[in-house]
Amino acid sequence: MAGFAVSPRVRAGVASLAFTLCPLVSGDFATGRAEATSLALYPDPAGAMTPGELQRTFAGQDLDGYYSADGGAWSEVYRFDGSLSYRDAADQTSGRWSVNGDRFCTTYDDEALQEACFLVRRRSDNCYDFYDTGENFRPTASAAAIRNGADFAARAWRRAEASTCPPIAESLSPGGE
């Protein structure tokens, strides 16, 4: 059977469509190598927010938060069209946000800022913990740490409402809350 050539433009379009419609497929779409993976293979007993919860909670919202590594403050605006605006003490940039499976993902126009996907756990009415994820979207923190509010990468709240997060000093102490 004879093969056929696919133009890079068509391949890019297919990759874009696959990224949008099939978040449970990973691999290198530019070269045509892909493998199926299921987030269901890695259940999150720690209570990760669902894709619908992530969309309803963050679309059209301004978030304020801080990083656990240094307590540094940051703010992001998540627009309904998937664009975002980010700022902290050192940077201000734009980018994109998306929900990929049950992970919340951000990419930035400023290459100095890291592209990442996070497991998000709602800590209280208006408090959200963002946990780094590694290969295959698995969280790098243990389920116990996530349940206990420890080892998060960032913590945030919707700016339009009063924060229900614990005080920052308590949050950054060893062992979490």
Regions of the chain where pLDDT drops below 70: 1-46, 169-177
pLDDT at 46: 64
pLDDT tens, position by position, 64-84: 999 999 999 999 999 999 999
pLDDT at 21: 36
Backbone φ, ψ for residue 91 (5° rounding):
-135, 155
Contact by Cβ (8 Å): 93, 84: no
pLDDT at 77: 98
pLDDT at 78: 98
Which among 155, 93, 153, 97 has a CA at the least distance from the CA of 123? 155
Helix or strand run (H / E) with residue 122: strand 116-124
If phi over 0 gives left and psi between -120 and 50 gives alpha, with beta otherwise, what is residue 120? beta
pLDDT at 167: 86
Which domains does the chain possess? 8-37 (no CATH), 51-171 (2.40.128.640)
pLDDT tens, position by position, 90-113: 989 999 999 998 899 999 999 888
Structure tokens at 28: 């290198």
